Structure 1
């Protein structure tokens, strides 16, 4: 985790949400690809503590990271989510992300392959 944090460039921001001086969520922009054709695309990671989900923290984090992305010259954000993560998809859809497609058996959880949904948002400038 330390390497992940320290090896980041200024372009790929991390934001955290705190409640009572405790981190309850975070969001990060990550390189989508190291190929130059994709320099305007960032991959998104987000996590909200289970006890704090459904309270608007995700919307605040996504809104903030999108502003940071635009300032960093990022044109589009993509994310990958499990199709059974309905709460997450509700958040993403409410923030203007759209489903692009589903990779069949792309990830592995508890020894079983699972599908992964791709979503995207082109950022307004």
Structure 2
């Protein structure tokens, strides 16, 4: 856990990841996987943004890449593939929540058409310091 991409202090266990995967399946949400020669090098998914009924048309996505997969367009292809899947499920907006210091991820999302809509100072804490979150969104329909 050397990155602030996810505001979690503990490593994710295999059991944690299985529960996450099963939750996505139960909710009918996709999990896309990128592999290279049989090795998983990235994945992307989306899920409910908030649990209240008024947010049922909004999802938040996540995309994660192995270090060796970064900068090769794999993340772009994964997120591009998520967009029509969200549309097919009747979703209206997709949210990206990005660490405020991660300018590369912010630019990545902007290149895909996401627009910054909020900066939330000091809403997370990791590595003994407060972290800012940037919310970006793209309208799907």
Q: CA deviation at 1:35?
A: 1.0
- Point out where structure 1 has 5 or more consecutive residues left out of the alignment: none
**CA RMSD, Structure 1 to Structure 2 (Å):** 1.2
Determine which structure has the larger strand proportion and give its number: 1
Other-structure match for 1:4: 20
Structure 1, 1-10 or 100-109: larger mean CA deviation: 1-10
Match of 2:38 in 1: 21
Instruction: Tell me the CA shift for residue 7 of structure 1.
Output: 2.0
- How far residue 10 of structure 1 moved from its aligned partner, in angstroms, is 4.5
Misfit runs of 4+, over 4 Å: none
What's the CA shift string for 1:8-39, capped at 9, x where partnerless? 23432111111111111111101111111110
Normalized against structure 2, the TM-score is what? 0.83
Residue in 2 that maps onto 1:116: 133
Tell me the CA shift for residue 87 of structure 1.
1.6
Aligned equivalent of 2:59: 42
1:73 equivalent among 90, 110, 113: 90
1:67-87: CA deviation from partner (whole Å, max 9, x where unpaired): 111111111101110122122
Whether contact under 8 Å (1:12, 1:31) holds in the other structure is: no
If the length of structure 1 is used for normalisation, what is the TM-score?
A: 0.93
8 Å contact 2:83–2:140 — kept in the other structure?
yes
Q: What's 2:68 paired with?
A: 51
**Offset, 1:4:** 1.2
Matches of 1:70 and 1:10, distance apart in 2: 15
Q: Does structure 1 retain, via aligned residues, the 8 Å contact 2:101–2:132?
A: no
